[in-house]
Amino acid sequence: MTVHWLDLDTPPHLPALYARAATKRTITGDTLPDKGLRCWVTVDGKPLEAFREVCDLPSSPLLPPTYPHLLAFGLQMQLLTDKDFPFPLLGLIHLSNQIRVLRPMGGVSQLRIGVSANNLQKHPKGATFDVVTQVDDLIGPLWEAQSTLLCKGVDLPGDAPQPAASIASGMTELTRWYAPADIGRRYARVSGDYNPIHLSAASAKLFDLPTAIAHGLWLEARTLAALNSHLPAANVEITVDFKKPVRLPAEVNLHSSEAGSSGDFQLNGHADLVHMVGRWRPLS
């Protein structure tokens, strides 16, 4: 699909987008728009340090591998709440996330972020699609990501593709940590993502959840912080599949293979409940 880009002068205003998201609750079609949004953003040191703190990331001259997602959040919100987008933002389920660090992300201050949606596919519970995020610096492509989201209730023709099996072995426990009840609110203040299912038990119950659940991108960032010494700084593709949500508060434990150009990891909870599985591989 050819993307028709709309270049914005400034990043979107989040409060207006939240108001727009709250008013759209129905599915209005089954075709993704071909429009993409782009904007230049400035990397500000203060929000970056706040992100490092909430995700327990060490100080580094390089941007954390998941940080461009925060810079892209406003554009993603505007794309997904546009009147031409067929699915309501509230209720979308984040199934997986893949990021590709093309070059070391150091010494960058100005970045061009581009977001678009593609790859609409049938799913046993509805339909999935990908939100694609591209980041360029003044030299060229720097970072890419693909987030796969599920919208329940969409009825597409044909058969749903079979998921690929992801079984890894040879992992040992690397570390464990405690996810406190307020981590969703703390992450929201840093990221701007105030999804009610992550904020409190009371707001999560509005969406039929017994308690708040940890934000998937916070789990990924916190996991990659623990894997920092295992991962290459660039020329790497990192993929995570979100399994069972982490109900807050909770203790989780991280299992990983040895450091190297390739590896696997898994985040478990009580009674070895699998919350997230992931892998890193060199870019081909």
User: How high does pLDDT run on average in the chain?
Assistant: 94
Q: Indicate if 84 and 148 belong to the same structural domain.
A: yes
Least confident of 139-153, 155-169, 225-239, 259-273: 155-169
Q: Indicate if 146 and 192 belong to the same structural domain.
A: no
Q: Indicate if 172 and 270 belong to the same structural domain.
A: yes
Using pLDDT thresholds of 50, 70 and 90, give the confidence band for residue 268: very high
DSSP per position, 122-149: EETTEEEEEEEEEEE-SSSEEEEEEEEE
Using the predicted structure, report yes or no on whether residue 165 has a pLDDT greater than 70.
no
How many domains does one find in the chain?
2
Using the predicted structure, report yes or no on whether residue 168 has a pLDDT greater than 80.
no
Per-residue pLDDT tens for 57-98? 999 999 999 999 999 999 999 999 999 999 999 889 999 999
Query: What is the residue range of 224's domain?
Result: 167-284
Amino acid at 195: N
Per-residue pLDDT tens for 176-208? 999 999 999 999 999 999 999 999 999 999 988
Per-residue pLDDT tens for 195-241? 999 999 999 999 889 999 999 999 999 999 999 999 999 999 999 99
**Residue 178, strand partner residues:** 251
Which residue, 215, 149, 145, 152, is CA-closest to 180?
215
DSSP state of 110: E
Q: Indicate if 24 and 105 belong to the same structural domain.
A: yes
b/e 8-22 (16+ beta carbons within 10 angstroms → b):
eeebbeeeebbebbe
Q: Indicate if 177 and 280 belong to the same structural domain.
A: yes
Is residue 55 within 8 A of residue 218, CB to CB? The reply is: yes
Mean pLDDT, residues 147-155 taken together: 95
Q: Indicate if 183 and 100 belong to the same structural domain.
A: no
Q: Indicate if 38 and 126 belong to the same structural domain.
A: yes
For residue 275, give the 3-state DSSP assignment.
strand
Per-residue pLDDT tens for 101-128? 999 999 999 999 999 999 999 999 999 9
| Res 1: pLDDT | 73
Using the predicted structure, report yes or no on whether residue 132 has a pLDDT greater than 90.
yes
Using pLDDT thresholds of 50, 70 and 90, give the confidence band for residue 260: confident
Is residue 226 within 8 A of residue 175, CB to CB? The reply is: yes
- Chain-centre distance for alpha carbon 30: 23
* Residue of 166 and 150 predicted with greater confidence: 150
Mean pLDDT, residues 254-281 taken together: 95
Per-residue CA distances from 56 to 15, 51, 193, 223, 268 (Å): 28, 8, 18, 9, 18
Is residue 122 within 8 A of residue 158, CB to CB? The reply is: yes
Mean pLDDT, residues 25-43 taken together: 95
| Res 98: pLDDT | 98
| Res 164: pLDDT | 67
Using pLDDT thresholds of 50, 70 and 90, give the confidence band for residue 160: confident
Residue with tokens 């940890």: 214
Q: Which token pair is 61? A: 């001259």
Beta strands at 4-7 and 35-42: parallel, antiparallel or unpaired: parallel
CA dihedral 66, 187, 17, 47 (to 10 degrees): -70
Q: Give the domain CATH number at 209.
A: 3.10.129.10
Can you tell me the distance from the alpha carbon of 105 to that of 65, in angstroms, rounded to the nearest whole number? 8
